[in-house]
Structure 1
Amino acid sequence: MKKLILSAAILLGSLSTFASTVPATNEVVKTVSIQEEYTEVKLEEVPEAIKAALKTAYPSAVLDKAYVNATKEYKLDVTIGDKKGNLFVDAAGKWIQK
């Protein structure tokens, strides 16, 4: 009889651990997006240092559009072969990784 009562107590004790509730936690993830404001400039207004850096790094690149922000960083829309993309460069012709 003692074994039966002990077995029942162990069984009920182990079942009660499964019945316990796990507190639900809600994590708040905050995403901050910083978008730099670029304004379009004419291709003639692009500094010669940038044009020279573009021809040196990408000889077959065609400059489609150019944009500048307040810190004089330029965003260049270029076409190389059949691919289009963006390049970032400062006013001195130094490439920027973004």
Structure 2
Amino acid sequence: MKNLFLSAAIVLGGLTTFASTSPVSNTIVNTISFQEEYTEVKVVEVPVAITDALKKAYPDAILTKAFKNAKSEYKLEVTVGDKVGSLYANADGSWIKK
């Protein structure tokens, strides 16, 4: 009788390991990138407020290219020494973080 109970326990225990399921997780990452339309403008067309703010914040910076979007935001390509970077500003000369 003892062997019968022991055999039944082993069989039932073995079946429960096959019946268990491991959790499956699917991670979906959606990436949305917004690309704003900037059109190139001449450096001399950049508002004086922006050039003054640039001279104040980065005295050694050289403005190489300028771009403008529909919201009158400016993207400035600037060279300081051997480093090249982009800055963003409103028409009134306040900086925008992007």
Q: What is the TM-score when the length of structure 2 is the normalising length?
A: 0.83
Instruction: Report the counterpart of residue 30 of structure 1 in structure 2.
Output: 30
Distance 1:25 1:49, change over 3 A: same
Between the two proteins, the alignment pairs up a number of residues equal to 97
> Residues 14-29 of structure 1: matches in 2 within 5 Å?
14-20=13-19, 21-22=21-22, 24=24, 26-29=26-29
Distance 1:41 1:19, change over 3 A: same
Q: Distance in 2 between matches of 1:77 and 1:17?
A: 66
> Residues 58-69 of structure 1: matches in 2 within 5 Å?
58-69=58-69
Q: Match of 1:32, SS?
A: coil
Please report the RMSD computed on the Cα atoms of aligned residues, expressed in angstroms: 2.0
Distance 1:9 1:59, change over 3 A: farther
Identity of aligned residues (%): 53
Q: Match of 2:51, SS?
A: helix
**Structure 1 residue 23: Cα displacement:** 6.3
Q: Match of 1:5, SS?
A: helix
Q: Which runs of 5+ in 1 are unaligned?
A: none
Q: Which runs of 5+ in 2 are unaligned?
A: none
Instruction: Report the counterpart of residue 71 of structure 2 in structure 1.
Output: 71
**Structure 1 residue 33: Cα displacement:** 1.4
Distance 1:11 1:43, change over 3 A: same
**Structure 1 residue 13: Cα displacement:** 3.3
**Structure 1 residue 36: Cα displacement:** 0.3
Q: What is the TM-score when the length of structure 1 is the normalising length?
A: 0.83
Instruction: Report the counterpart of residue 40 of structure 1 in structure 2.
Output: 40
| 1:1-39: CA deviation from partner (whole Å, max 9, x where unpaired) | 41x333433333333343234464544432221110000
